[in-house]
Amino acid sequence: MKIGIMGAMPEEVSGIVGQLETLRMHRIGGRRYLEGTWNGIDLVVVFSRWGKVAASVTATVLLSRFDVDGIFFIGVAGAADPTLRLGDVVVATDLLQHDMDASAIPLFSKFEIPLLGRSRFPSDASWMSASLAAANHFIKGDFEAWVSDEVRTSLGVGNPRVVAGLIATGDRFVTDAAFLRDLRKALPDLRCVEMEGAAVAQTCFEFAVPFTVVRIISDRGDDGAPVDFQNFVSKVASRMSLGIASSFTKTMFERVDSDA
Ligand code: ADE
């Protein structure tokens, strides 16, 4: 099995790249695709950059040039569900593009992707369950050792929860509590917002390949978001991404091994 691992921030993938054995680098379309093995699984790891186009281009290269069997995306997100706290982990059940609106044409509803006849892209059930298991395993295991008490206290991170739910994607870093409230009125099951996941989901859907998206809550999508975000990414998300990705690859290895 070969898995594509994507992150939208260098901090989210650099720790993973540091773990790869038999590393080979490929420069394609302005990105560096790092190929190697980790925990017995063949991987191609790449920093996608921000936004839906960047994510979709990167996913397309992983699928068409590297022939990966599926994509694991890890990154941070702004909370839309007010019960979520910094450090909580959201594993996508499904994703949609909150900035897609062709409803001026009577054929389409809001959020619907024209000509695909759908707005939501469901995650692959088996890959989603591996992500949930990986996130829970990391939070209950290494989390306290990997993210110091001092960092947790200074950033207001408690004992993270792992939840599954809807993720909305758009080409906008959300710093507007009113925008989020309105979005949640339209999508009451929405957990968080980010800038890449649904683009990866649509690309994988069109290639009929499994994917899973894991997001760590870095901010509340309000006017404090830019400050929370930068501190959180460098001190917490980088460590959590590495721990969850490690646990995910081990889970996938055990599954492949038990099928053999
Ligand atoms: N990723 C992390 N926080 C975000 C936010 N507030 N809006 C969009 N993407 C994000």
In a domain, 46, yes or no: no
In a domain, 110, yes or no: yes
The pLDDT of residue 8: 84
The tens digit of pLDDT for each residue in 36-87 reads 999 999 999 999 999 999 999 999 999 999 999 999 999 999 999 999 999 9
Ligand 1 centre distance from Cα of residue 256 (Å): 34
The answer to whether 106 and 178 have CB atoms below 8 angstroms apart is no
pTM above 0.75, yes or no: yes
Cβ of 195 below 6 Å from ligand 1: yes
What CATH code is carried by the domain that includes residue 206? 3.40.50.1580
Cβ of 192 below 6 Å from ligand 1: no
Ligand 1 centre distance from Cα of residue 5 (Å): 20
Ligand 1 centre distance from Cα of residue 111 (Å): 19
Percent of the chain with pLDDT over 90: 87
**Residue span of the structural domain in which 241 resides:** 73-259
* Total domains present in the chain: 1
In a domain, 191, yes or no: yes
In a domain, 168, yes or no: yes
Per-position b or e across 206-229, b if 16+ CB within 10 A of its CB: ebebbbbbbbbbbbbbbeebeebb
What count of other Cβ atoms lies within 10 Å of the Cβ of residue 31? 17
Minimal-distance CA residue to ligand 1 atom 1 = 77
In a domain, 112, yes or no: yes
In a domain, 63, yes or no: no
In a domain, 51, yes or no: no
